[in-house]
Structures are given as C-alpha cells and as structure tokens.
C-alpha cells in the first residue's frame, strides 16, 4: 500500500471518530447527480454510468446504516427524467428495477431495510411500478433503515397531489372549497405528502457540484441544511459523506428564528 493511501485512510477514520452521534441527521435526502457526466468522462456508455451510480447506492446506504441514520430519501428518477430518450429511459428503468430488487435482500452487512416508494406510480412502466409495490410489501416489517425511493417524483406534483387528496376528502364529507380554504393549515398538507408520518429531512446532499434542488422535497426541505459536493455520484466516497455529516453537525440550526 502506498503512503498516500495510508494517510487517506487515517484521515477518513479520524474524521469519522470525531463525529458526535447525537448531532447527526435523522433523515437525509440525496440528489444522486452526475451519472451521465461520469460516463462521458470515463469514456463509458450512459448505461454504464447509471449502473455505476446504482452500485454506489448500496455502498452509501451501508454508510448510513453504520452511522445510525434513520431515514434516507434517494432521488432516483424525476418526472422530468421521464422525457429522456426512450432507449436511455428503458435502460435506466431496468437498472432501477434491478437495484430495488437487490435492496429487498438487505444491505451488505445483512441488515434489512424498509423500502417505500415516493412518487407518482401511475407514471411508471407497469413492471417498475409492480417491483416497487412488491418491495414495499416484502420489507414492510423491517425495523432498520427506512429508504424512500423517489421514482417518478416531482416536488410540485407531490404538493398538487396532496391538495387533490385533501379536496377529495372534503368533498366526500360534504365540505365546500371555501370551508376547506378557511381551515387549511400546513399540517393538513404535510399529512398528505408522499412522506407523511416521517420527519422532514435534516440534511439534503447533492453531488456533481450543481447547487439546486431540481424539485426535490420542496415542501419538506423548508428548514433542511444543504450540502453540495463536487464529486459525481459514482465517485462519491465515504470520506465525502463523513465531511457532509461533520459540516451538518457544526451548523447551528435556527428553523427560521
């Protein structure tokens, strides 16, 4: 082993050992960005880039489990991504389906995860929607890491879907729009989001150097901390994750006060 690798490993272990577990986030959202750029830089195909990104997901979830993170939301396929060229979309959907099936078998350390789909399942190909439904059912009793898989997800659509659900419920109860508007609260919207019943994300990580949310958890991230990493998603390392956790734990969260 070369000396630089020894020093790198020492640095990573030192950072991890210095983390205060009681200051770590409960819920982390991740925008998995950079697969296509990674493929281009590596002289690989776009499908190879998506596959490399899929492999990183399992590794990343292992890190989250190691540090006691309770909930992770992975932004894997947005509603905008659905308009990509048919051949690329078909390859990406296939890779996502295989990745999900693998999640059903648990993490590399043997720990089971609970998988929940967050998104508009009606937009997805029937095969992928079926895989998600089956995985949710098979992992519903898992008590470990809770993994939200944002597939066919759009933040604006999520809010619209929540409002629609609220209005349909009100109509069924014989209440009109004016009455709903008069009584409407933040909590009523939150209780109808795809992530209902879960804590909002404390930390949102985006890879590839882009500094925007791209519609990810727009409502839930109102008071989240953001961490933007230059590494492309397939190149995201454990030390990058530890740095994100360290940065989060050093911030003073004010929640608007």
Known catalytic residues are: 33, 81
- For 11-49, letters b (16+ CB in 10 Å) and e give ebeebbeeeeeeebbebbbbbbbbbbebbeeeeeebbbb
Rounded to 10 deg, the angle between the 238-250 and 46-66 helix axes is 50
Burial of 222 from C-beta contacts in 10 A (0-12 / 13-18 / 19+): exposed
Q: Which residues contact 1 (CB under 8 A, 6 or more apart)?
A: none
Residues 25, 251: contact at Cβ < 8 Å?
no
Q: Which helix (H) or strand (E) holds 83?
A: none
Residue 201: strand pairing partners = none
Six token digits for residue 213: 């949310």
Burial of 208 from C-beta contacts in 10 A (0-12 / 13-18 / 19+): buried
CA dihedral 23, 27, 33, 38 (to 10 degrees): 60
């Amino acid at each position: 082993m070369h000396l630089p690798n020894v020093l790198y490993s020492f640095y990573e272990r030192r950072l991890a050992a210095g983390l205060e577990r009681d200051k770590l986030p409960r819920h982390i959202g991740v925008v998995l960005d950079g697969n296509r750029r990674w493929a281009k830089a590596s002289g690989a195909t776009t499908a190879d880039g998506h596959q490399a990104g899929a492999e990183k997901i399992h590794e990343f979830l292992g890190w989250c489990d190691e540090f006691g993170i309770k909930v992770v939301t992975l932004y894997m396929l947005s509603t905008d991504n659905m308009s990509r060229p048919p051949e690329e979309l078909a390859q990406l959907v296939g890779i996502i389906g295989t990745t999900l099936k693998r999640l059903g078998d648990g993490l590399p350390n043997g720990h089971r995860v609970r998988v929940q789909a967050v998104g508009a399942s009606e937009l997805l190909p029937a095969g992928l929607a079926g895989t998600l439904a089956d995985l949710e059912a098979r992992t519903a009793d898992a008590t470990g890491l809770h993994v939200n898989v944002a597939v066919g997800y759009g933040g604006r659509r999520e809010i619209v879907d929540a409002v629609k659900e609220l209005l349909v419920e009100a109509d069924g109860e014989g209440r009109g729009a004016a009455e709903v508007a008069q009584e409407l609260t933040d909590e009523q919207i939150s209780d109808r989001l795809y992530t209902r019943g879960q804590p909002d994300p404390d930390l949102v990580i985006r890879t590839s150097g882009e500094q925007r949310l791209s519609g990810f958890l727009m409502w839930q991230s109102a008071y989240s901390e953001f961490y933007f990493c230059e590494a492309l998603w397939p190149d995201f390392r454990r030390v990058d994750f530890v740095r994100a956790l360290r940065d989060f734990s050093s911030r003073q969260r004010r929640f608007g006060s």
